[in-house]
Chains A and B, each alone.
Chain A
């Protein structure tokens, strides 16, 4: 009797949200996946995918997207690890203040955030003017609308997503453990790589997943800093759907983005270390 009552409560609590998500989110996504396998005359076909992966331009765009994602993740790890360690050893008050500054790029209007890089990397931006003033170059160097520009913009955006889980994992390592490693004769580097890094693996995998999946699906940063010259999957989807208005091929691009993200999430879940 009590069980029955409980099931009814759960149903009442969960059903509205489940209906909402099914109708407006899951169903359209399923339609995208289904649509990507539909031929022009109906029926099930892989033609859309074959067209995509046999086309040199779209293949280049796909690999570029993944390559930039890996690069951003590696650079974010290197840039975030040492300061995260320092943050994790700080007194709580100071850490809280600094952490609220870390999340600022995540919380800022994306156009505003990216616009700064336009000023810095532009033809007559901060960097080019400095280079010219120093006599290192006569003509402005092209920095904008390059892969480098996209990587720089993505790093600023996603570094916080590496710092947050890293600090979370690192602050759980007791000082005693590090002391113990040292007193047993481990040098700074040995203690770091054999004790601290393995104990923060959870945070690394978590941060890596967030940064990589964020980087391969981000839109505003590559749209502004890469433009139509350096397309990635997200800017390609916009172009096919809203500029070329080619729905079938846009559907395939969307499906590939969706499947890639899901695959990455599943893959990295396998690597997530078991809780000790």
Chain B
């Protein structure tokens, strides 16, 4: 009994360390002081939340982040679902090499990927900033889409597809009408995981954003260089709440943590 009380103490410490800082941000965000203070000295106010919505660089970069995240996630799934299907359903020579290549974007440091793409693709090809950004995000999201969709394809009973084919459906038809609807939870989990990853990404965006095309995390970093007021705390509060809702929802519906 004594031992398990010690264990519980380590658990509480772990959660205090992981989540305590979020609490600090929440409280600091409601402070009325002109510079950041904790605990706030001059009473509480919603002023900094209003300021978030009045700062045009946050609003503009939010929409760009949202656009990039949705598009890159969609393309990554479009490329990744067929790959996951091939890797799970067939055995073929060179499969190991392909699997390594397909998972490599998460093994390579994101900052190196961003740098490499800027120097040896974007600057060479002269594509516009948004396209470069979109391609960079897609490459990094791709492995997540393959991994999560593969996991859910592996749990699917092959008899389902065989039944469809023996009843006369061709492979494409049986995939669209039988396989895909049955792995929709996996696809949804992949979508959420990839969306969050893109929406929060800094290393790729750091190199691939440009004048007029900035993502939200990058514009937050820039803002922090110039201002030391609680606006970032207010914005962070909103983003953390958004994440909690998304993650808890996804966990309840899909068991997200098993895919991370």
Q: A6-B90, A25-B139 are in contact. Are A17 and B102 (CB under 8 A)?
A: yes
Tell me which of A100, A110, A242 contacts B247 (CB under 8 A). Answer: A100
| Minimum CB–CB distance for A129 against chain B, Å | 8
Question: Chain B contacts of A23 at CB under 8 A?
Answer: 121
Q: Which of A47-55, A80-88, A134-142 contacts B (4 or more CB under 8 A)?
A: A80-88
Query: When chains A and B are docked, how far (Å) is the Cα of A258 from the Cα of B220?
Result: 27
Query: When chains A and B are docked, how far (Å) is the Cα of A8 from the Cα of B36?
Result: 61
B67 interface contact, C-beta 8 A: no
Query: When chains A and B are docked, how far (Å) is the Cα of A101 from the Cα of B252?
Result: 12
B256 touching A101 by the CB < 8 A rule?
Answer: no
A24 touching B18 by the CB < 8 A rule?
Answer: no
B221 interface contact, C-beta 8 A: yes
Please, what's the 1-or-0 string for A63-86, where 1 marks a CB less than 8 Å from any CB in chain B? Answer: 000000000000000011011011
A111 touching B220 by the CB < 8 A rule?
Answer: yes
Residue of A nearest to B98 (CB): A14
A117 touching B21 by the CB < 8 A rule?
Answer: yes
A120 touching B11 by the CB < 8 A rule?
Answer: no
A110 touching B115 by the CB < 8 A rule?
Answer: no
Residue of B nearest to A234 (CB): B111
A238 touching B111 by the CB < 8 A rule?
Answer: yes
A16 touching B243 by the CB < 8 A rule?
Answer: no
The SS class assigned to the B binding surface is helix
B117 touching A24 by the CB < 8 A rule?
Answer: yes
B239 touching A119 by the CB < 8 A rule?
Answer: no
Question: Chain A contacts of B171 at CB under 8 A?
Answer: 9
Tally of B interface residues using CB under 8 Å: 83
Query: When chains A and B are docked, how far (Å) is the Cα of A120 from the Cα of B220?
Result: 19
Q: Which of B42-50, B76-84, B159-167, B182-190 contacts A (4 or more CB under 8 A)?
A: B76-84
Please, what's the 1-or-0 string for A12-43, where 1 marks a CB less than 8 Å from any CB in chain B? Answer: 11101110110111111101100100000000
Residue of A nearest to B28 (CB): A119
Query: When chains A and B are docked, how far (Å) is the Cα of A113 from the Cα of B196?
Result: 14
A109 touching B216 by the CB < 8 A rule?
Answer: yes
Q: A31-B120, A124-B37, A159-B17 are in contact. Are A14 and B112 (CB under 8 A)?
A: no
A20 touching B79 by the CB < 8 A rule?
Answer: yes
Question: Chain A contacts of B11 at CB under 8 A?
Answer: 82-83, 86-87
A86 touching B7 by the CB < 8 A rule?
Answer: yes
Residue of B nearest to A112 (CB): B236
Q: A17-B82, A108-B240, A261-B108 are in contact. Are A100 and B8 (CB under 8 A)?
A: no
Question: Chain A contacts of B200 at CB under 8 A?
Answer: 107-110
| Minimum CB–CB distance for A152 against chain B, Å | 9
Question: Chain B contacts of A106 at CB under 8 A?
Answer: 260
Query: When chains A and B are docked, how far (Å) is the Cα of A217 from the Cα of B140?
Result: 15
Q: Which of A143-151, A172-180, A196-204, A218-226 contacts B (4 or more CB under 8 A)?
A: A218-226
B233 interface contact, C-beta 8 A: yes
| Minimum CB–CB distance for B40 against chain A, Å | 11
A103 touching B37 by the CB < 8 A rule?
Answer: no
CB contact list, B134-152 vs A, under 8 A: 135-136, 138-139, 142
Please, what's the 1-or-0 string for A211-241, where 1 marks a CB less than 8 Å from any CB in chain B? Answer: 0010001011001100000000010011001
Query: When chains A and B are docked, how far (Å) is the Cα of A16 from the Cα of B108?
Result: 21
B64 interface contact, C-beta 8 A: no
Please, what's the 1-or-0 string for B19-42, where 1 marks a CB less than 8 Å from any CB in chain A? Answer: 101101100100000001110000
Can you name 6 extra interface pairs (CB under 8 A) apart from A86-B10, A104-B244, A108-B239?
A100-B248, A105-B19, A109-B216, A219-B206, A234-B203, A257-B112
Which residues of B does A touch, CB under 8 Å? 3-4, 6-8, 10-11, 13-15, 17-19, 21-22, 24-25, 28, 36-38, 79-80, 82-83, 85-86, 90, 92, 98, 101-102, 104-105, 107-113, 115-121, 135-136, 138-139, 142, 171, 196, 199-200, 202-203, 206-207, 216-217, 220-221, 224, 232-233, 235-237, 239-240, 243-244, 246-248, 251, 255-257, 260
Interchain residue pairs with CB less than 8 A apart (6)? A31-B116, A104-B244, A108-B239, A113-B22, A219-B110, A241-B207
